[in-house]
Amino acid sequence: MSQPILRIATRKSPLALWQANYTADRLRQLPAQPLVELVPIVTSGDTNQTDALRQFGGTGVFTREVQRAVLDGRADLAVHSLKDLPTQSADGLVLACVPERAPRCDSLLLPAGSAQLQTLHDLPPAARVGTGSPRRQAQLLHHRPDLQLSEIRGNVDTRLRKLDDGQYDAIILAEAGLGRLGLAERISLILSPPLIFPAVSQGALGIEAREDDTTTRDLLAQLICPIALAEVQAERSLLRTLRAGCHAPLGVWCSIHDQQLTLSGVLLSHDGRTRLEQSAAGDIADAESIGRKVADLLLSCGAEPLLQA
């Protein structure tokens, strides 16, 4: 009997290819030992490296074209950074797998050769910091309103080159991506809660398959990490209930101990002056309802105007 062949749709960026190859290696280790090949896709978010992401409008800037490859049969599954994937599944697709999650915090990087920082407050006054994320910008401004924040686009290597060329005094990148690319030594400071809350699903991979493709879904089910899945279910439920897009200044932190899940959510004004925080806890089996509860708590204390801003 011939081995099944699985085709993985992925973006062409170095990080996306790392994630797709990681998934391919995990699949090859399964008892079925499927043959796996990559189907690289160029997305609109990759093609346009100048405009701020919020100017693209809507969600799915980095996922739509990759999903289309699965829907039209060019690929059998798609590997995404789950934080880029809208909470509402595309018609015909399901989120079939969330494997083990990488570290989820943000990190601050300095030009090569700079002295290490101990805290965010060690940055000089009015330091130029590169980050286009409204979530990161709002939280940075909440703690350091003097910082000069500006958009930075491009893959990780491009951003590091801009930093080392002196265009910025510091940049903010996800810890997970740097670790996956072997660049963790560039991290000067980990920005973790309560200072900076990461994005919904940050550090997690989301693997989609066609809803009617039970063969592929059964294979992917063997790679699911129950802890990571519960965490992102809670976080994405919070995001979905708030009807917040990927450009909302919303951060989350989820932890699980002894089957008890605790979720905290923070929502800020874009200038960082207003900050709301709420938390809820419960059994891991109730992950989605815990996410809805935190969203309701945020809405009850004034989240709506911040979401509409």
Q: Which residues contact 180 (CB under 8 A, 6 or more apart)?
A: 15, 18, 19, 22, 102
Q: Token pair for residue 210?
A: 């066609």
Round to the nearest angstrom and report the end-to-end CA distance of the chain. Answer: 58
What is the identity of the amino acid at 69? A
Q: Which of 51, 76, 84, 296 is catalytic?
A: 84
Residue 84 annotated among the catalytic residues of the structure? yes
The span from the CA of 28 to the CA of 164, in Å, is 39
Q: Which residues contact 92 (CB under 8 A, 6 or more apart)?
A: 71, 210, 211, 212
The span from the CA of 137 to the CA of 149, in Å, is 7
HSE on the CB side for 128, CA within 13 Å?
12
Q: Which residues contact 224 (CB under 8 A, 6 or more apart)?
A: 97, 98, 99
Using an 8 Å Cβ cutoff, are 139 and 249 in contact? yes
HSE on the CB side for 240, CA within 13 Å?
17
Q: Which residues are catalytic?
A: 84
